Structure 1
Amino acid sequence: MEKEVRIFIRIQKHRKESWKKLCSKKRISLSSLIIDSVENRIFDDERRKILAFIEKQDNIFVKIETNINQVAKIANAQKFIGSEDLKNFRKQLKIVTELKEQQNKIFTKIYSLIAND
């Protein structure tokens, strides 16, 4: 394990306070902000957002899959789909589409950050 060393930099007091506010807002340390910025890495708060999004997406997809299976079961048994069931089905498909769009934006950002390494 490498020994850590300190680096001292001089900045204006108002700038330091601004950085500390940003860190507080992002719930990251000032050291993390500086190191990740210099090394062009994903910030810890962004990493947390990505993991939370993936977890949320997974939970929603499980619900959607259950609903789709229920619609298919009803349609197969009754040989038709009621308007309320069809409305719910369309709503679930819209959620899937929105999540996929968010996922693609996140993956694009991740890929661009990885490409800079």
Structure 2
Amino acid sequence: MTLLQGCRSDGSDVTPVNSPIYGLWTGTYTVSATDPTYVGKSFFFSFTIYEDGTLTYKGKTPGNDVYAYGTWSLSGNDFSFRVTTLNYDGGYQHVQSGNATYTGSQNMLSNGTIADSVTGGKSSWTMKRVN
């Protein structure tokens, strides 16, 4: 899975510095469209969300860890992001974008989707804030 994307925030829609959105989030993504070998399989997925509107992610794939860096935004409960991979196989880096529903009271990002602009790969994901 290599799919993530977001939008850089100008700060107007970012929650206060003590926001529970900032920090380490972990969960899984489930492949829904890409190599048929992996459709329906789930893999580790994590974000580190920073208050300056940036994020990093790590996604496990069969035989690989994929890292990405980009931006995020939050408008109400609508979380979105856009990233560029840093170490995608073959050297060509991919732009990925996605979104999710943010539920602060449960420290949850749910109903997430992610799409890769190069491969067309798509996945669904869910995460909980752990730190």
TM interval, short-chain normalised: under 0.3
- Kindly indicate which of the two structures has a greater share of residues assigned to strand: 2
- Kindly indicate which of the two structures has a greater share of residues assigned to helix: 1
TM value normalised by structure 1:
0.23
TM value normalised by structure 2:
0.21
Which of structures 1 and 2 has the larger relative contact order (alpha carbons within 8 angstroms, sep 6+)? 2
